[in-house]
Amino acid sequence: MPNQIVISTLGGPEVLKYQEYSLPKNIKNNEVRIKQTAIGLNYIDTYHRSGIYPLPAELPFCLGMEAAGEVIAIGEDVINFKIGDRVAYATPPIGAYCEIRDFPEEKLIPIPDYISDDEAASILLQGMTVEYLFERLYKIKKDEIILFHAAAGGVGLIACQWARSVGCKMIGTVSTKEKATLAKEHGCEFIINYKEEKVSNKVMEITNNQGVPVVYDGVGKDTFDESIKCLSTRGLMVSFGQSSGMVEKIDMHKTFNPKSLFYTRPSLMGYTLNRKELINCSNKVFDKMKKGDVKANIYKKFKLNEAEEAHKTLQSRKSSGSIILEP
C-alpha cells in the first residue's frame, strides 16, 4: 500500500503523521493517476496545517499543493495526457503529500524535457507566484526600483532572478549576511539586512526619498508597517503571505489615506482561474528557465516520512531556496 502524510487535528508540525492508505479502484473519467517523484513544500502548507487558512475538507486530510511525477493511468475522458507522461501541478485540490494520487486533468501541467521532476516540484508554485506578481498584478519595468521582502527565500530567489532578467532594480530584505550574499548572487540589486538597518530609512536613501512604487510583502506582521513607510505616493502594497503571522487590525484611513496608497491581498489561485491562465503562467516560468534567466534552487530534500522536520525547517525562516519531499 502507498503512504501519505495526514493530519487529524490542526496544529504545529507534530500533527503530521505518516501512514498507509488505499487508492480508489476506479479513476474518475477526467482524472489521471500519478506516481509522484517529488513534492514541493510551500509556506501555504503550514497555513493549512495550522488552520490560518481554513479548508473545506473535513479532518483528517492530506496536505500539499505541489508535486511532480509520472502518469501511470488515465480516466476515460482524458485527452491531453497519456501513460508515461511527466507532469506537475501547483494548485488545489490539496493532497500532494503522498506517493500516488489521482488529479484533475484540467489542472495538470506537462513538464518540458529540459526540466527535471525535482526542479518542477521545487519551482512551479513559487515561480508561478512570481510570474503573476511581476507580470500581471503589477508589471515591473526596466530600471524601476521595487522592494521585495524575504529575498533569500524560495519565492524571493526566483524574484531576484526574474527582476534581473527584466532589468528591474530590486531591493531585497534579508536576515543574515549569508542570505544577503545569496540574494545578491541571484540578481538582487540592493540588499537590506533588517536586523542591522531600518528598512524604510534605507529604502528612502536608495530612492532619494521618493519611496518605491510597489512593495511585495510575503512576511506579514513583522514587515507591514515598514512596507507602508517605503511606498511612494499612490504606491501599491502587495500582501501575498504572512510567514511572521497575520497583520493586526488596520486603521484604513490612517494607513492608506496620507499617500493615497493601493492595497491588494492576491493569491495564485486568483490568477490561474482556468486552464488557459494556468498553462500561460507555467509556460512563462518554463521559458525563463529555458533561457537561463531563472534557475531552481533546492535548499534541502527530506523523505516523505520526515515531513514534520521539513515543516520545522521551513518555519525556522533559516532556510534559503526550496524544500522538497521525496516519496
Distance CA 262, CA 233 (A): 10
Q: Do residues 278 and 187 both lie within one domain?
A: no
Please, which residues have CB within 8 angstroms of residue 84's CB and are 6 or more apart in sequence? 70, 71
What are 264's strand-pairing partners? 238
Tens-place pLDDT, residues 63-89 = 999 999 999 999 999 999 999 999 999
Is 80 among the domain residues?
yes
- Rg of the Cα trace of the chain? 20
Question: What CATH number should be reported for the domain holding residue 204?
Answer: 3.40.50.720
Question: What CATH number should be reported for the domain holding residue 80?
Answer: 3.90.180.10
The secondary structure element, H or E, covering residue 310 is helix 307-315
According to DSSP, the β-strands at 109-110 and 61-62 are unpaired
Please, which residues have CB within 8 angstroms of residue 326's CB and are 6 or more apart in sequence? 37, 38, 39, 301, 302, 303, 304
Amino acid at 56: P
Q: Do residues 114 and 178 both lie within one domain?
A: no
Q: Do residues 241 and 296 both lie within one domain?
A: no
Is 134 among the domain residues?
no
Tens-place pLDDT, residues 82-136 = 999 999 999 999 999 999 999 999 999 999 999 999 999 999 999 999 999 999 9
CA distances from 314 to 46, 122, 151, 305 (A): 9, 13, 15, 16
Distance CA 249, CA 255 (A): 11
The predicted pLDDT at position 215 comes to 97
Q: Do residues 254 and 309 both lie within one domain?
A: no
Is 130 among the domain residues?
no
Q: Do residues 157 and 260 both lie within one domain?
A: yes
With cut-offs at 50, 70 and 90, classify the pLDDT of residue 220: low
The predicted pLDDT at position 321 comes to 74
CB atoms within 10 A of CB 318: 12
User: Is 90 exceeded by the pLDDT of residue 325?
Assistant: yes
Q: Do residues 52 and 166 both lie within one domain?
A: no
User: Is 70 exceeded by the pLDDT of residue 22?
Assistant: yes
The predicted pLDDT at position 245 comes to 63
The predicted pLDDT at position 250 comes to 81
Q: Do residues 99 and 195 both lie within one domain?
A: no
Is 131 among the domain residues?
no
Is 137 among the domain residues?
no
Q: Which has the minimum average pLDDT: 187-201, 276-290, 312-326?
A: 312-326
Q: Do residues 62 and 150 both lie within one domain?
A: no
The predicted pLDDT at position 137 comes to 98
Q: Do residues 16 and 41 both lie within one domain?
A: yes
Q: Do residues 303 and 242 both lie within one domain?
A: no
Q: Which of 264, 287, 302 is the last residue of a domain?
A: 264
Total domain count for the chain?
2
Distance CA 42, CA 322 (A): 8
Phi, psi (5° rounding) for residue 197?
Answer: -135, 150
Segment 16-38 shows an average pLDDT of: 97
Q: Do residues 44 and 98 both lie within one domain?
A: yes
Tens-place pLDDT, residues 206-216 = 999 999 999 99
With cut-offs at 50, 70 and 90, classify the pLDDT of residue 252: confident
Is 135 among the domain residues?
no
Q: Do residues 258 and 318 both lie within one domain?
A: no
Is 79 among the domain residues?
yes
Structural domain including 23 reads: 3-123+269-326
Closest CA to 237 of 258, 257, 256: 256
